[in-house]
Homo-oligomer: A and B are copies of this chain.
């Protein structure tokens, strides 16, 4: 890492920002290889080429890194989603068709973002622990803003939702986090599970189960014709 930047010590604000991003990027790379629980501060600092206390100069704890990463991934996902919803849902179609399209786009889009779902799932039980009130409050404020953004995106496709757009989006995030736990067996267990036919109920593909659940939720919050 020191080879790619022209300084050994970050002294200006921009340089400090470069360090922060390097830490976040490296944590992101680790999440591509391992579950949230396995991302340790020791390994992260080793990979990023800094001593552990220096990583803690930029983030107050391991969880703070992951929380900020979740916020980043959520933003990236919403940006992608905006395009997909605009392209895939047509105003002139009947409500039921638009609802199906929205649920399909959301579930397909989420099932391509395993790491985001993993972080969603860890949010309550892991990420929001061991973090100062300030950081978790800042994250929650950001999260609320993302929720508003997402509600706007979905609401534009399904104006019939009205106020329920927010409820639906919250449920989508919730389901995304939980279903990654309920549906996709971790790679290490996949072989074992396939030998257990009575566990088939837990074998649904993430995308499928998510699409079913989101469709149901949407139909529930949409007005009856």
Q: Which of A22-30, A79-87, A163-171 makes up part of the contact surface?
A: A163-171
Nearest B residue to A144 by beta-carbon distance? B201
In the assembled complex, A57 has its CB within 8 A of some CB on chain B: no
Nearest CB of chain B from residue A98's CB, rounded to whole Å? 15
B224 and A215 form a contact (CB under 8 A): no
B125 and A212 form a contact (CB under 8 A): no
Q: Which of B35, B136, B167, B196 contacts A212 (CB 8 A)?
A: B167
CB within 8 Å for A198 and B37 given contacts A126-B126, A192-B133? no
Q: Which of B118, B122, B192, B220 contacts A221 (CB 8 A)?
A: B220
Nearest CB of chain B from residue A145's CB, rounded to whole Å? 9
Within 8 Å CB of A141, what residues of B?
Answer: 196, 198-199
B221 and A216 form a contact (CB under 8 A): yes
User: Could you give, for residues 32-76 of chain A, a 1 whenever the CB lies within 8 Å of some chain B CB and a 0 otherwise?
Assistant: 000111000000000000000000000000000000000000000
In the assembled complex, A193 has its CB within 8 A of some CB on chain B: yes
CB within 8 Å for A124 and B182 given contacts A133-B189, A141-B198? yes
Nearest B residue to A177 by beta-carbon distance? B178
A125 and B181 form a contact (CB under 8 A): yes
A224 and B224 form a contact (CB under 8 A): yes
In the assembled complex, A10 has its CB within 8 A of some CB on chain B: no
In the assembled complex, A217 has its CB within 8 A of some CB on chain B: yes
In the assembled complex, A105 has its CB within 8 A of some CB on chain B: no
* A202, B142: Cα distance in complex, Å: 12
Within 8 Å CB of A171, what residues of B?
Answer: 175, 213, 216-217
A137 and B199 form a contact (CB under 8 A): yes
Q: Which of B136, B164, B166, B192 contacts A189 (CB 8 A)?
A: B136
In the assembled complex, A147 has its CB within 8 A of some CB on chain B: yes
Nearest CB of chain B from residue A29's CB, rounded to whole Å? 20
In the assembled complex, A219 has its CB within 8 A of some CB on chain B: yes
A residues neighboring B (CB under 8 Å):
35-37, 118, 121-126, 128-129, 133, 136-137, 140-141, 143-144, 147, 164, 166-168, 170-171, 174-175, 177-182, 186, 188-189, 192-193, 196, 198-199, 201-202, 212-213, 215-221, 224-225
